[in-house]
Amino acid sequence: MLGLGTSATLLVKNNFGRTIEPLRHALEHRALPEGSIYGAPELGLYIGFEHLIDDLRLGYYTGKIPDYIVIDRRSREWLDKTEDSEPDVVRRSRDMLAKGKIIFSDSEFQLYQITHPKR
């Protein structure tokens, strides 16, 4: 329910559109239309759903690695809350973010560009 409550609060206050505009701009100029993006589902209202994947575990179970990850308050709270119950998931997520490059950051969002391992 944490995600739903956070999302609903932002949308009801009609603040989300104004808050997300700088992130949307960064995504449009860097990630769209080709990159895969892990982020909250409400981002799809502003950038479209075609490349957006809602996966708080950042591909732990699928083995997929996105091109970009959007971290917001919901995902930060989830990582902190889940550290004891799913330590391997959180460790992999934090490692992936640590290896990524922050290409946008403000008080609400951080946009990471993820470097894929060489195959």
What Rg value do the Cα atoms of the chain yield, rounded? Answer: 14
> What letter does residue 83 receive in the DSSP assignment?
T
Task: Please state, in angstroms and rounded to a whole number, the distance separating the CA atoms of residues 32 and 12.
Answer: 27
* 4: amino acid identity, one letter: L
- Which amino acid is it at 119? R
pLDDT of residue 7: 54
pTM: 0.81
Whether 7 and 93 have beta carbons less than 8 Å apart is answered as: no
Question: How far apart are alpha carbons 37 and 52 in whole angstroms?
Answer: 5
| pLDDT given at position 1 | 44
Which residues of the chain fall below pLDDT 70?
1-17, 31-33, 118-119
Residue 48: per-residue pLDDT: 86
